Structures are given as structure tokens and as C-alpha cells.
Structure 1
Amino acid sequence: MTTTTRPADYTARHLQVLEGLEAVRKRPGMYIGTTDTRGLMHCVWEIIDNAVDEALQGRGDHVGVTLHADGSVAVADRGAGIPVDIEPRTGLTGVEVVFTKLHAGGKFGGGSYTASGGLHGVGASVVNALSSRLDVEVDRAGKTYAMSFRRGEPGLFDDGKGEPSPDNPFEPFTNTSELRVVGKAKRGVTGTRIRYWADHQIFLKGAGFDYEGLVGRARQTSFLIPGLTLVIRDERGLPDTPAADGPHEEVFEHDGGISEFAEFLAADPALTDVWRLQGSGTFTETVPVLDSKGHMTPTDVERECDVDIAVRWGNGYDTHVRSFVNIISTPKGGTHLSGFEQALMKVFRKQLEVNSRRLKVGGDKVEKDDILAGLTAVVTVRLAEPQFEGQTKEVLGTAAVRAIVAKVVEGELNTRLTSTKRDDKAQSAQLLEKVVAEMKSRISARQHKETQRRKTALESSSLPGKLKDCRSTETDRTELFIVEGDSALGTAKDARSSDFQALLPIRGKILNVQKASVGDMLKNAECAAIIQVVGAGSGRSFDLDMARYGKVILMTDADVDGAHIRTLLLTLFFRYMRPLVEAGRVYAAVPPLHRIETSASGRAKGERIYTYSEQEMRKTVTALQKKGRTIKQPMQRYKGLGEMDAHQLAETTMDPRHRTLRRVTMADAEASEGVFDLLMGSDVAPRKDFIISSAGDLDRERIDA
């Protein structure tokens, strides 16, 4: 039975006041966002960021992260170490204050940290509250101090001679807490080591540590703090991970800073060098400061904001912009990113106005997307006590940063674009020409969209003559088969349903667009025909709603050459028609390799069985022989689609009732970008290394000799 409280009965006794870390355990989402893998990883970031803040202050140059087999994670740094002396207001040691009190720490303007990722003083205490066990060791003043916590409560675990575990007997401190001295530290050695086990009362059952995410964050941080070494070690031995066969360790250290980061992020050929835009500015803000009597007093404080930005334009049209505040990633931007984009618009509009006659700008206005096309940028600012929107720190809110970043970018970029140095002058000219070309392309695409409507081959003769179009104009049900060769086209023409299946033949291997420029791609007859038939444009002007077909199916032979052609086609779609791939509308047909026929035996009728690999064929033959079935010899092995009869092709590859299609997906765009660049890009050495290292995994039976 459910009871309700009437408004008259709702009094102060119904209110709950959550004390200390109770609030964190009651409402964890407020502090870490979610209680799934993302929230668990946020706990890791909180501890790692505290260690990195030490390196940011020049205290320590090494951070180690270890994922243990028992599900715990350990973070070690060589910073100054958490204070171990008594904090006068609470009477507790610095270690206990940091791990048990919300909004406690050394990052509230006391002078210990000029710029840090930590801001609210809740990171370590939140992680402690959401841990089933947390152990901390601190090296300071020649001694090693230790303390343990269970769900935020300090006490002692009885580990005996076994391994530390949250399931071991625990005795909480009752009257006073004890920061134990457990050993000696070498003279001059300081640092902090934290190991914690996530509390499964809080986190969802499937939550786990994401190794790839950890590696990505470590690599990113090593770019942001030149000279810092980060070591990521995985001892879990999970299947399908680098540590499946034993402990796996990766070390990250980059001395090139954000210039090297921009080069790492960029996927397209360079149009300009990496330009560093650096400067600083000051601003005044009123903040409440805790005085000696414990009162909060509004005080005007002068802040300094350091700006360091790396920009680089390439020949592509994709934009990669990463922004950071005190090495904390701000994926949703904020005032620093607004100031950056504001300055870009101002500078380029001014430069295009000055060079309008040479560049033939006319009366058109450049827009932000025209400037951002092909841009890779790393935007970093450093300031004391930045204002973020929430503990997850995804958006910077400090208003004064916008004007400071805009001023620095405007001055530095203007200097670059007006430089009289030969290299700078040539790169600036190319960059301005690219921006104008992007602007004209955008305007042309918009005009085309406004004046044109979807046309079929019956309405327009502009489509390639080799296209065998379908009759239906319902995009959702139509399919475009891109077919390898004219011989396969002949068979496919008889096998298709002309009502909704269209065919476009291509001759051999198309241009590798990963290496070629946009101009070369558009001049290539096969690439131009595919883009024209799909009908949605290409690059940044691609409009998914204008695509003429609901599915695009790549139908190539089931051999090595067919796989290569399929890869070249996928490269074209990935580079210039990516929204089609992202929408899950690009497929690969799966034609069979073998046709097995059995003779009629008794009541059993003869069968036709298609298999799609050597392994499947051998398994099928073995199974049929065990049943006593006779297999007609020789078995047919299809070398190409042209060898199949129309009814066989329809039955196995084209008829929606029987066929198998593989959908091409982009679960990880950055990983896909890296794979395409490795396999299809212009840099030969990494591809050669990949081929040599992977040669042992090659199935030699798949090579047609």
C-alpha cells in the first residue's frame, strides 16, 4: 500500500540533510556524470589529473597508471606528495582531509597551484566515497606514510600475508585516525601512490576500465606537457586486448608539445606548416576569499591567462579542433573556443577584403565553416581557478578568456598572413585561395540544392550512360549496386529486380583518393561517375537528404583483387561521402566462393549449397560425407561474379530474400581514419612495417597464384 504526504503534513522533518560523503554516494551522477563505464573512467581521470597537476607545476615528470588483475587501478606520481601534517581547523592530517572532506585541497588560490586541472576540491574525496577500498601512500620528508579507506571511511584492513582486497576484514577508526609510517623514503624523493577498487554497490555491473580510452588520454596529456612521461600498464589479461597474453605497457612522452599534437591529429596533406599562436593577458575578477576568521570576503583578484594555440590547415575539408584548460579537455568548448573562432572570422574577413581583387571574392561573404575546412587546431589556455560548468569540466565559463584569446589569435594570425618571408607568404596565399574556394563551393552547392530536384535517368540525360537505373523513385527502397567489370554487369542485369535495383559498372581499380587531391579525384571518370550517380555531392557540401538511393552496395569478386577494389571504393566513400557511411547506408555484397552439389540418394533429394570461405567449404563437405551424401565432382569454385549464372547471382547475392550483406560502419571514426591513412595514404614506411609484421597472419590459400 502506498501512502502520500498531504501539503499540510509536509514539514521540515521531511527534509534530509546529507552529511559529507553521504551526498556523493546518494547522488553520484552529480559528481561523475553516470555510473557506467564513463563514470568509472571519470574517477580514473580525477586521480590522474591530480598527479598531472603536480607535473604542471614543475614538481615531478613521471606518472604511472596500472590496471591490476583484481579490478583495481593504481596511480603513482613523483610530485610533492599530499601534506601529512595536521590541518589546524579540522585537527586531521592533510591526507585524511583531502580524501574525506568535500571542497578541500590546495587549489583554492593559496599559491600552491598557479594553474591546475583540479578546481573544486572534490575529486579525490569523490573517488574515495565511490570506492569499496582506497589505499594511499605518500613519500615525504624521508618517510613513507599510509592510510586506507572503505567507502570513504578511514580505518585498517587486515590483509594478513595475502594480497590487499576490499573483502578483507576492516576495522574503522573510532576516536582518532592514524596516518601510519610504513617505511623510509630515499632522501629527496617525494610522491603519492593511490590504489582503489570501484564500489559495485554504486557502479553498474558492466562498468569497466577502458584501456583504449586511457591510452588516448595519456597520449593527449603527454602532448600538452612536454617532458612528462606517462606509463600505462595493463595486467588484467582480458581477451581481445593487448594484454591478453601477458602484461602490456605503453610509454608516452612528447617533447614537441601541441605542435606535435596538431601533426598527430591531422589526417590530410599539409597546406601550411603548424603555426603557434602564443600570448597572454590579464583580467580582474571578484572572488570570495576565506579570511583568517573563517569569513568569506569578496576580493578583487588579478588573473593572468596564458594562451598557446597550434593551427595547421590541410587540403581536406574535415575540421579537428581540440580545446583544453590547464590540460583538462573541454570537448564542448567554452569561452576560449568562442574567442578563437571569433578571431578567425575577423582576421580572414579582413584579409579577403584586402585581397578581394586578386582572389576574385566578389560580393560573397565568408562563413565560419569555409575557414574551418581542413583546419587542425589545438587550443590551450592556462589560468588560475577557471570557471567550469559542473565537476565534469566539459565547458569553460570564464567570460574574460574570450577577449584575451581573440586578441592573441588576431594579432598572431595577422602577423603570419601578412608576413613577407617567402615560406609564410606562399602558404598564406594558398590558404586564402583555399578559403575562397570553400566559400564558392558552399554557395554553388546551396544554389544547386535550391534550383535542382531529384531526377531519374528517364528525366535527365546528365547521368552516365553506363548506369542501369531502376524504375522506382522511392529512395528508401532503392539500391545502387556498384559492380566490378562489364562481364559481371551482364549477369547482374539479368539477376536484378529492375524495379528497385540500379547497376553502375566500374572498370578495374579506381583512383586511390587517400593519396590524390580533390581536383584529381573529380577528374577521374570512375570517381566522378559514382559521385554523380549517388547525387548528393561530395566533401563538405555532401547532403545526405539528396542521395538518390537508400542503399549503396559494393559488389566485387570474392578474391584479393575484389577486396582491393572494395577497399578503394570504401576509401572514396569514407573521404568524400562519409555521412552515407555514418548513416549505415553503404554495404558490401557477399558472393559465394564455392557451389556444392549433392546427388539424390534414396529419399534425399539433390542439394545445391553455397559456401563463402575455404573453411566453411571443408566443414560442409565433411558434414555431408558423414551423412553418406555423394558430392558431384568437380565442385565449382567461382573466380568472379561473371562466372555465375543470373539465377545463381540473384539467389546468392542480389535477392533480398536470400542474400547476405555486410553493413559498413564507423564505430570509431578516429581509428578508421588511422587505418585508411595507414593502408591507403602516401607514407610508405608505416605501411611496409605493417605488412612485414602481419605477414605471419596471412592465409596463403586466399592468394590466387
Structure 2
Amino acid sequence: MSQQKYTNESIVALKGADRVRKRPSVIFGSDGLEGCQHSFFEILSNSIDEARQGFGREIKVVRHKDLSISVIDNARGIPVDYNQNEKKFNWELIFTELYAGGKYNNNDSDVYEYSLGLNGLGLCATQYSSEYMDVIIHRDGFEYRLNFEKGEIVKNGFVKEEKKYRRTGSQIKWRPDLEVFKDINIPIEFYQSVLKKQSIVNPGIKFILHDEESDLYFEYIYENGIKDYIDEVGAEKSISAVYYFEEQGFGRDRGDMPDYKVKTQIAFAFNNEVNLLEYFHNSSYLEHGGSPDKAVRNAFTYEIDKFIKNENKYNKNEKKISFIDIQDSLILVTNSFSTVTSYENQTKKAITNKYIQEFMTDVIKKNLEIYFIENKEEALRVVDQILINKRSREKAENTRLNLKKTLSAKMDFTNRVKKFINCRTKDTEIRELYILEGDSALGACKMARDSEFQALMPIRGKILNCLKADYDKIFKSEIITDLIKILGCGVEIKTRHNKELDTFNYDNLKWDKIIICTDADVDGFQIRTLVLTMIYRLVPTLIDRGNIYIAESPLFEINTSDGNTFFAYSEKEKNDFVKTLNKKYTIQRSKGLGENNPDMMWQTTMCPDSRKLIRISSKEDYYEIQRMFEVLLGDDLEGRKDFIEENGEHYLEMLDLS
């Protein structure tokens, strides 16, 4: 077997464009769509840096039909002419040299104090990773045109032409290369999100997005930056006004390192319905936060806990709040800046500066203390809500632990769930669970069923209306917890304070069909509706996936003189059938499932070939389904009365008037 030689000549240094084209994830964090998106942000960052310095207040982005991208600004224009110091053209430095640019000397007042892009790393790396890049720059009375392909300047690719106008700005158009990135189809939603976020943290700068494919235009501008954004998110539902402060400082991350400048802008409000935490640094959105996130969590928890203690708001022996209780009602955005920034990596999703964290922690603590003093009445209202959040969370956690204890124990269904009758097969693709009304139905169905794949669970009386009851009360109901045990898939909790209760796993569902089987009378319909409501609230995915059915049971048995038997499932169906008969017959009204003989029960309700099942579907609009449940079973009695008055005539034939 041959062995590959590893010699001195095996060592290869990547040069030029290959440094990016062969290893894009080193610069952009990924060679997939995420990396491609980051390359766009590198170009956008340079225009934003210029606008923040007061050069050009409008930035336009075009998403072209061929997936190429244009970023156009009216700033000073990138310097691309000959550089006497470096003895090279600046276009060579900026577009073809990594780590060359105009943002490294922060002592020079002519360049950038707080920089988002590095105008040399990102711009050069994006050029290297492009199928082509065409650049038009207006500066110093000249128009400069540059053309690159696959990371290289094309022949005659640098053109300088004098113009009479004094217009300035840069236009960069490029197409990310599929030889570099696996996917370059950046969705319009990404551009919308990025430009909106940048408009939030760059007050007064207008961002325009043009999508050529749809020919739609989008504009984003926030004149007052993060303050306007907090107002927008709160949507007039906040329980406090927007509080804004900003401060600057100097410090260092380590004793032997030089000082650097930091500035922070912070706006927050408290809200009962929505919450939000967003962090930006030098205008870059920090998806993972880092130092600012740690500062916010520490400072808010410390100051609010101190205020609660001072106001004697804790109950005796009550545990202190945690940040999650605050976060449930907090809308907060921070926008920090620094002349020295330590990102976790080039994708800039978190910063790690120790001094920024310490500085922001102190600033937030100081301003929160002022806020509590100056806005005492509002602050008391806020901490009351935070304590509600805390107590709801703790109650939910206790309920979750009790529920987990109830559901997680390995059980023998026959012994642990009263009157549950299992089937033999373990094949979940054919297993059926019949949820029955009462013990009498259990007796009839037990004799009628196919015990290989049909299991039975009787409901003892009417279950709770799960739309009205809270989770604590729901999970104290033995009927409901027995049903959840038998289903096997846990419960789905989607509400704000009870996310900890969510134990749902669809793969653990033990049944292909869950069939609700009740008498065809008013009481049966109500039980059916209450069971559906329980499923809707606790395991709605079973409705979405089509696992829930209703078994139609016949209202009438019609026996003809020639010995045949027919079943009718409604008054109308009975009358229509009787009109077709030309022989003597007798009609017997069903007295309920428990009165049926096994053969009839099998034929009408349990035999897969002859039964009538109604599959419960959620294909309708989710909010319409939610509205109907609220109308029929919610607290709005007046709304229910109005609905019955308006729609009752459509259900007259279903009334049991006999």
C-alpha cells in the first residue's frame, strides 16, 4: 500500500484571492448562505461608517434578478488613486490586500472613531469571493471605474475619468461566486431585517431597498433611533414610558493594555404583552450579545432586586427574582461603540471586551437607581408585574415537576389508569384509541371491538373546560392526566409564563387514531366538545397532524319487513331514506351507545370498512379556529349569545326535541 509523502515541499501558502476563495469560512464564518450574507454586510458596513461620520445620509441596496447585489452611497467615495506612502494605488490596497484600509489609526481625526467595517478586510474578502465586482467611485472631480473577476482585476480594469460635477459617493455591484459559497440566493427578508436594524441604530440615515424581482421598494428611517424603535415595539401597550440614557468612558480590558474610548446608548420600557432584548455594537447587531448582554442581566437583576427589598415587596421567605422574570416584561435595546473591539470572531455576533461589560454595568445601575427615584409610581407598577412574572414562573415550575412525576413514571396502563383497556399490538401505525362516554359504552365497545388494534378509555362524567381552567387546575384532574398518560406524547404549553411545562414529543405518541365516541345527543355533543377543547389546548399538534377523529353513532335503526336493517345518522337522513321505502318498516331511536348490541356497535362505530369517522382538521385559518373555541367555550357569554342568535337556525335539525 502506497503512503503519501509528507516533505518540506508539502507545505503550501495560499496567496492572493485563494486565501479567501479556498477558505471562505475563515473570514465569513461559513461557506454557505450565512457566509454569503455576511459578505454583503461587510460592503454595507463601509457605507454606514461614512454616513455615521456625516458623509451621505442615504444608502441604497439593490437585490438584482441574477442575485448580484449593489450598495450605493453618496459619501466621500473610496480613495483609490495612487498612494505615495505605500507606493501603490489605493485600489490595490483596498480591494486586493487583506488588512489594508483607512480605519486602523484611531488617533487621526480624519478617519473613523467608531468603525463597523474595516474597509480592507471585508471589502477585499468580498471582492475575492465574487464572480465579478464592478465599482464606480465619484471623488475629487473624477469618476473611477474598477472591474474584477474571480478576485483579479481585469485587463484595463482601472479607469479614471475627469468630470465637471463635484458629486461624491461609491457604487459597488458584485455577484457572490457559487464556486466559493454553496448558496448565494439571499432572501429579501434578510435584506429587510438588516436594513431595518441598521436604521434603528443609525438615527436619521435613510436606507432604501429595491428588489428587482418584485420591483418593490422599501424605506427604513428612525429619526430618534432606538427610542422610536422601543415605542414601535411596545405598540402603546407598555406599562412604562421609554427611558433613554447615554454615556461615554475610557478604560482598558487589562492592566497592561492601553485605554480605549467607549460610548453606550440604552433605551428600555416595560410591557405586559411583548418583550425584546437586542444588542448592537458599532452598529453591528450582536445576535449572541456577549459583554452588553452580561451587563444588562447583572445590572437589572441587582437594581430591581434592591428596589423590591427596599419597598418590602417580597413575601416572607420568598426567593429573589431572576433576570428571566424581568425579561418577560422588558423591551430593551443597547447600542454601544468602542475604538477597540474584541469580537468573538469575524462574523461579529458577540463582543468580549471586559471593560465594556464593566462600564455598561455601572452605567445601567446608576441610571436605574435614578429611574426608580424619579419615577416611583411607575417603578412600583413595574415591579408588581415582575413579581407576577416570578410567581407565575415558580407556580409553573412546580406544576411541571408534578406533571413530570405524574407522566414520566413507567406504567402498566391496565393497573395505573382506571378502566383503560389496551390493545395487543405495539404497532403505533395501526393502533386506535377510542375515548368513550361513560362505563355503559365501555361494556358495549369491549365486546364489539377488535382487540388486536383497538383500545378503550371511558370518560367518567364531564371533563373540565380546559379553555377556562388554569394549568394547575387542569393537571389536578385525574381524567385529564389519565388521558395524557395514555396518549404518551406529553403536553404542549405555549403561553408566556408556562413554557417550562412543555413536555411534548410527537414521536412518543402511541396511537395512529384517537377517536372520540359519544352519544348522538346534547350531552354527548358537549362531552365531545370538551374533549376536543382539551386536545386543542394541551396537544394541538395532534389536530394539525390529523390524528383526531369523531365517531358518528347512528340516531335511528330502521328495520324493514324483508329483514334488512339500515342506520340513519340524522333526522334528515332518516326522513330521506324512509321516502324511498315501498315496504313496511319499523324505526327505533338509539338510546345511547351502551344500549347497542355488539354487532351493531361493530358495524356502525368500530369496523374500519363500515364506520363513519370525521377527521378533525386545522386547515382553516388558525386564528379563526381560536376565535371559534373562544366563542363556544370562553368567558364571553354575550358573544356566545350573539353567535347563537345569528347562526342557530343552521343547526335546528341537530336539536333533540323528542
| TM-score, normalising length: structure 2 | 0.68
| 2-structure distance, mates of 1:384, 1:76 | 26
**Equivalent residue letter for 1:312:** A
Q: Hey, what does 2:270 align to over in structure 1?
A: 313
For 1:214 and 1:340, locate their aligned partners in 2 and report how far apart those are by CA, in whole Å: 28
- Per-residue CA deviation, residues 309-359 of structure 1 (Å, 9 max, x unaligned), is 23333335x853221111111112211111111112211332233234x43
Residue pair 2:536, 2:543 contacting (<8 A) in 1 also? no
Show the counterpart of 1:180.
160
CA distance in 1, matches of 2:305, 2:241: 21
CA distance in 2, matches of 1:275, 1:653: 62
Compared with structure 1, are the counterparts of its residues 349 and 426 closer, same or farther at alpha carbon in structure 2 (3 Å cutoff)?
A: closer
Alpha carbons of 1:370 and 1:80: their partners in 2 closer, same or farther (altered >3 Å)? same
Per-residue deviation, 1:381: 0.9
Alpha-carbon distance in 2 for matches of 1:492, 1:65: 67
Q: Which of 317, 320, 325 is residue 365 of structure 1 equivalent to?
A: 320
- Structure 2 residue identity aligned to 1:441: K
Are residue 348 (structure 1) and residue 348 (structure 2) matched? Answer: no
Displacement, 1:201?
2.0
Question: Counterparts of 2:93 and 2:610 in 1: how far apart (Å)?
Answer: 72
1:74 Cα offset (Å): 0.8
TM-superposed CA distance for 1:258, in Å, is: 1.7
Whether 2:87 is the aligned partner of 1:129: answer no
Structure 1 segment 139-218 matched on structure 2, within 5 A: 139-155=138-154, 172=155, 178-181=158-161, 183-185=163-165, 187=166, 189-204=167-182, 206-218=183-195
In structure 2, list runs of 5 or more residues that go unmatched: 485-489, 517-529, 551-602, 628-649, 652-658
User: What is the alpha-carbon distance in structure 1 between the residues aligned to residue 163 and residue 36 of structure 2?
Assistant: 31
Instruction: Select 1:281's aligned residue among 245, 249, 260.
Output: 249
Is the CA contact (8 Å cut-off) linking 2:433 and 2:515 kept in structure 1? yes
Distance 1:227 1:492 in 2: 72
Q: Is the CA contact (8 Å cut-off) linking 1:220 and 1:261 kept in structure 2?
A: no
Distance in 1, Cα, partners of 2:351 & 2:331: 20
Does 1:383 find its partner at 2:338? yes
1:505 & 1:52 partners in 2: Cα distance?
67
Alignment-mate amino acid for residue 470 of structure 2: L
| Cα offsets for 1:23-64 (capped at 9, x unmatched) | 111211111122222222111111112212222222221111
Aligned residue in 2 for 1:254:
222
For residues 652-691 of structure 1, give each alpha carbon's deviation from its aligned partner in whole angstroms, at most 9, with x where no partner exists: 9979xxx898899xxxxxxx9xx979x97xxxxxxxxxxx
The 1:654–1:195 alpha-carbon spacing in structure 2 relative to 1, beyond 3 Å, is: farther
Change (3 A) 1:225 1:454: same
In the TM superposition, residue 131 of structure 1 has moved relative to its aligned partner by 0.9
Query: Hey, what does 2:26 align to over in structure 1?
Result: 30
Aligned in 2, Cα 1:495/1:325: closer, same or farther, shift over 3 Å? farther
Using the TM superposition, give the Cα deviation of residue 14 of structure 1 relative to its aligned residue in structure 2, in angstroms: 2.4
Quick one: distance in 1 between partners of 2:201 and 2:426? 47
Question: Does residue 646 of structure 1 match 2:605?
Answer: yes
2:187 pairs with 1:228: no
Within the alignment, does 1:329 sit opposite 2:309 as a pair? no
Task: Please give the per-residue CA displacement for 1:259-295, whole angstroms capped at 9, x wherever unaligned.
Answer: 33335556995343433353332213689xxxxxxxx
Matched, 1:407 2:407: no
Partner of 1:692: none
CA distance in 1, matches of 2:72, 2:169: 7
Equivalence for 1:303: 260
Checking the alignment, whether the CA contact within 8 Å between 2:321 and 2:387 is kept in structure 1 is no
Could you tell me which residue of structure 1 aligns to residue 500 of structure 2?
A: 542
Instruction: Tell me how far apart the structure 1 counterparts of residues 222 and 449 of structure 2 sit (CA, whole Å).
Output: 57
By how many angstroms is 1:446 displaced? 6.3
Equivalent-residue separation in structure 1 for 2:390 and 2:228 (angstroms): 28
Aligned amino acid, residue 289 of structure 2 = G
- Post-superposition offset of 1:224: 1.6
Contact 1:326 1:381 in 2 (8 A): yes
Greater mean alpha carbon deviation, residues 268-277 or residues 89-98: 268-277
Show structure 1 runs of 5+ residues with no match.
Answer: 156-171, 237-242, 288-297, 512-519, 557-564, 593-643, 665-671, 681-702
In structure 2, the CA distance between the partners of 1:651 and 1:338, relative to structure 1 (3 Å rule), is farther
The Cα shift of 1:122 comes to 0.7
1:159 corresponds to which residue? none
Distance of 1:73 and 1:253 partners within structure 2: 21
Change (3 A) 1:359 1:547: farther
State the one-letter code of the partner of 1:213.
Answer: F
Q: Does 1:60 align with 2:62?
A: no
Name the CA distance, whole Å, in 2 between partners of 1:586 and 1:504.
27
Contact 2:432 2:454 in 1 (8 A): no
Tell me the residue number matched to 1:522.
470
Match in the other structure for 1:91: 87
Q: How does 1:92-107 map to 2 (within 5 A)?
A: 92-107=88-103
| Contact residue 128 and residue 149 of structure 1 kept, 8 A | yes
Paired positions, count = 546
SS at match of 1:208: coil
2:545 paired residue number = 587
Which residue in the other structure is 1:219 paired with?
A: 196
**Cα distance, 1:138 vs structure 2:** 1.2
Structure 2 residue identity aligned to 1:428: V
How far residue 387 of structure 1 moved from its aligned partner, in angstroms, is 1.1
Q: 1:617-696 to 2 correspondence within 5 Å?
A: 646=605
Structure 2 counterpart SS, 1:46:
helix
Q: 2:619 and 2:460 mapped to 1: Cα distance?
A: 19
Distance 1:71 1:418, change over 3 A: same
* Aligned Cα root-mean-square deviation (Å): 5.2
Q: Assess, with a 3 A threshold, how the Cα gap between structure 1 residues 235 and 136 changes in structure 2: closer, same or farther.
A: same
CA distance in 1, matches of 2:233, 2:515: 33
Q: Is 2:397–2:500's contact at 8 Å kept on the other side of the alignment?
A: no
CA 1:361–1:434: 2 relative to 1, 3 Å = farther
> 1:78–1:5: structure 2 CA closer, same or farther, 3 Å change rule?
same
Q: Give the partner amino acid of 2:298.
A: Q
The alignment partner of 1:311 has SS state of: strand
For 1:406-458, what per-residue CA distance to the aligned partner results, in whole angstroms no more than 9, with x for missing partners? Answer: 11111122222343554x24433433433442454255346636865558998
The whole-number CA distance in structure 2 between the counterparts of 1:531 and 1:309 is 47
Amino acid at match of 1:348: I
Q: Secondary structure at the match of 1:331?
A: coil
SS at match of 1:278: strand
Q: Please tell me whether the aligned partners of residues 589 and 662 of structure 1 are also in contact (alpha carbons under 8 angstroms).
A: no
Are the structure 2 counterparts of residues 569 and 308 from structure 1 closer, same or farther at C-alpha, using a change threshold of 3 Å?
Answer: farther
Secondary structure, counterpart of 1:282 in structure 2: strand
Question: 2: CA distance between counterparts of 1:555 and 1:343?
Answer: 53
Query: Which residue type is aligned with residue 646 of structure 1?
Result: T
Q: How many angstroms does 1:181 deviate by?
A: 1.7
SS in 2 for 1:433: helix
Q: Which has the larger radius of gyration?
A: 2
CA–CA distance in structure 1, aligned partners of residues 284 and 459 of structure 2: 51
SS at match of 1:80: coil
**Which string of whole-angstrom CA distances, capped at 9 and with x for unpartnered residues, describes residues 616-666 of structure 1?**
xxxxxxxxxxxxxxxxxxxxxxxxxxxx963598989979xxx898899xx
